[in-house]
Amino acid sequence: MDEPVLLTGAGGHVGRTIYEGLKDEYDWRLMYHSQPAEEPDVPYFTGEVQDMDDVSPAMEGVNAVIHLAGDPRREAPWHSVLTNNIDGTHTVYEAAVEHDVEKVVYASSNHAVGAFETDERTPEMYRADDSFRLDGTELPRPGNKYGISKAAGEIIGRYYHDEYDISVCNIRIGNLNEDHPPIDYERGQAMWLSTADCAHIHDCALKADYDYEIVYGISDNDRKYYSLERAKDVLNYKPRDNSAEWDGAEKIV
State the CATH number of the domain containing residue 91.
Answer: 3.40.50.720
State the pLDDT confidence band at 1, using cuts at 50, 70 and 90.
Answer: low
Instruction: Give alpha helix (H) positions in 32-129.
Output: 52-59, 78-80, 88-98
**CA separation (Å) from 111 to 74, 114, 117, 220, 241?**
8, 4, 10, 19, 22
Query: Which residue segment(s) compose the domain that 212 sits in?
Result: 5-251
- Smallest CA-to-CA distance from 138 within 70, 86, 42, 214 is with 214
Q: Tell me the average pLDDT of the chain.
A: 94
Catalytic positions are 146
The Cβ of residue 195 has, within 10 Å, a number of other Cβ atoms equal to: 20
3-state DSSP assignment of residue 32: strand
> What pLDDT, in 10s, does the model give residues 60-90?
999 999 999 999 999 999 999 999 999 999 9
Q: Rounded CA gap, 25 and 8, in Å?
A: 17
- Smallest CA-to-CA distance from 226 within 132, 114, 122, 115 is with 132
Q: What is the pLDDT of residue 121?
A: 81
> What pLDDT, in 10s, does the model give residues 156-176?
999 999 999 999 999 999 999
Q: What is the chain's Cα-based Rg?
A: 17
> What pLDDT, in 10s, does the model give residues 115-133?
999 877 888 989 999 999 9
Phi-psi region of 197 (alpha: psi -120 to 50; beta: other; left: phi over 0): alpha
Q: Model-level pTM greater than 0.85? A: yes
Give me the residues paired with residue 168 across strands: 104, 212
pLDDT, average across residues 39-60: 96
3-state DSSP assignment of residue 8: strand
Q: Rounded CA gap, 142 and 76, in Å?
A: 13
- Beta strand 212-217 pairing with 167-173: parallel
Give me the residues paired with residue 212 across strands: 168
pLDDT, average across residues 28-45: 95
User: Long-range contact list for 228-234, CB < 8 A, 24+ apart?
Assistant: 229/135, 230/135, 230/136, 231/171, 231/201, 231/204, 234/208, 234/210
Percentage of the chain surpassing pLDDT 90?
Answer: 86
State the pLDDT confidence band at 253, using cuts at 50, 70 and 90.
Answer: low
Kindly report the CA angle at 32 between 28 and 35, in degrees rounded to 5? 115
**CA separation (Å) from 101 to 58, 59, 166, 179, 206?**
12, 8, 7, 33, 12
Number of domains present in the structure of the chain? 1
